[in-house]
Structures are given as C-alpha cells and as structure tokens.
Amino acid sequence: MVVLPGYKWLEVVSGRRGGRSTVKGTRITVDDILEMLVVGWKPEEVAEELEIPLEAVYEALRFASRAVKRVVVVAEASSR
C-alpha cells in the first residue's frame, strides 16, 4: 500500500484497480467518483450511493485537481 500524504480517505494498493487511487478499504477509484460527478450527481448523492464519507468525495476532487495541475505542457499552439 502506498500512503498518500495529506489524504485521510485515499490510498493506492498494488493490484487493486490497476494501482489507481481508491477510497480506503474499497475498490472505488477517484475515477469512479469523478464520472458520477461529471454526469450530474451531487457530492452528497455520490457519497450515499457508494456508501463512503462525503469527505472522501471532496478528497477525490482535490486529488484530481492536483493531478491535473501536474500535467506538463509538451507543445503549444502556434500563433499563425
């Protein structure tokens, strides 16, 4: 298991869901949570449906936000 500093509800366990970040003690990935939010579920609904703490839903959002910010731009659009 990989500890994710700063996250109370998220972990990475080798062999679980391809090594992606999951809610502790579950097979629910950050991706699963994001997909539900993208199609219009409210955070409270996601938490209730997946039977996870609401705080875990918000942690998944924070984790995803930080992951996006780490993306490195490898090409820029030309200004023709």
Q: Is the pLDDT of residue 79 over 90?
A: no
CA end-to-end span of the chain, whole Å?
49
Q: Is the pLDDT of residue 80 over 70?
A: no
Q: Is the pLDDT of residue 14 over 80?
A: yes
For the chain, give the DSSP string. Answer: -EE-TT-SSEEE-TTSGGG-EEETTSS-BHHHHHHHHHTT--HHHHHHHHT--HHHHHHHHHHHHHHHHTPPP-------
Q: What's the CATH fold of domain 2-69?
A: Arc Repressor Mutant, subunit A (1.10.10)
| β-strands 2-3, 10-12 pairing | antiparallel
For the chain, the structural domain boundaries read 2-69
More confident of the two residues 38 and 70: 38
What residue type is assigned to position 4 of the chain?
L
- Whole-number pLDDT of residue 73: 67
- Whole-number pLDDT of residue 71: 67
23-63, pLDDT tens digit by residue?
Answer: 999 999 999 999 999 999 999 999 999 999 999 999 999 99
